[in-house]
Amino acid sequence: MTAHRRLPSIAGYALPTEADLPASRADWALRADRTALLVHDMQAYFVDAFAPGVAPIEPAVAHIAALLEAARANDVPVFYTAQDGDQERRDRGLQADLWGPGMRHVPEHQPIIAPLAPAAGDIVLVKHRYSAFQRSNLERLMRARGRDQLVICGVYAHIGCALTAAEAFQLDIEPFMAADALADFSRSWHDAALAQAADCFAVVRSTRQIIEALT
């Protein structure tokens, strides 16, 4: 029987700088009238795995907050993903084999953290699988708003964030990874996620570069 994995306790590490970013194979130009912003899984259960008050999570949260401010100021639709607590095994699926039962339906686990709380008009999607597009209406909601680009930030870079970007690419939605508004299990995982994304399915940019394009 497969042993249940739990979330690791994540030590601090420095976020990548613009000088560290891999060259992206795609040359898509981000536009405020084409894009949406996705804040991925910034719930207390996932955020609390990080060493508090230090990089990567402290600056990543600040960068996500800056992206939210820029998106709302420039009429960019904002989406969030949030998992339900106390999922039944049939709903959690194979994720239970790797990560156990997941979060509980309690205030210590489920809410999106207060500094990044959704605002009126933002859309919170229930997260079912690694990709935010799985078993959700994210694609339909984007198409209805005339959006064919997606800026992705949040946790964890090499799992849900990268696989959401990969699925967006396969749906002909241009994904952009906000490199320093992501966090991961380690700097090596973080860098690997950015390298694969830049080479295979996304444009990798800094928060500053994304905000500059949106404004």
Is residue 38 a part of any domain in this protein?
yes
Q: Are 202 and 169 in contact (CB under 8 A)?
A: yes
For residue 1, pLDDT over 70 is answered with: no
Across residues 110-121, what is the average pLDDT? Answer: 94
CA nearest neighbour of 189 among 159, 215, 210, 166? 159
31-87 pLDDT, tens per residue? 999 999 999 999 998 999 999 999 999 999 999 999 999 999 999 999 999 986 556
For residue 125, pLDDT over 90 is answered with: yes
Is residue 8 a part of any domain in this protein?
no
Residue type, 128: H
Domain holding 136: CATH number?
3.40.50.850
146-158 pLDDT, tens per residue? 999 999 999 999 9
Starting from the edge strand earliest in sequence, which strands make up the sheet with 149-155, in order? 123-127, 78-83, 35-40, 149-155, 174-183, 203-205
Structural domain range at position 198: 34-214
Annotated catalytic residue within 41, 180, 184, 191: 41
- The total of structural domains in the chain comes to 1
Q: Could you confirm whether 191 is annotated as catalytic?
A: no
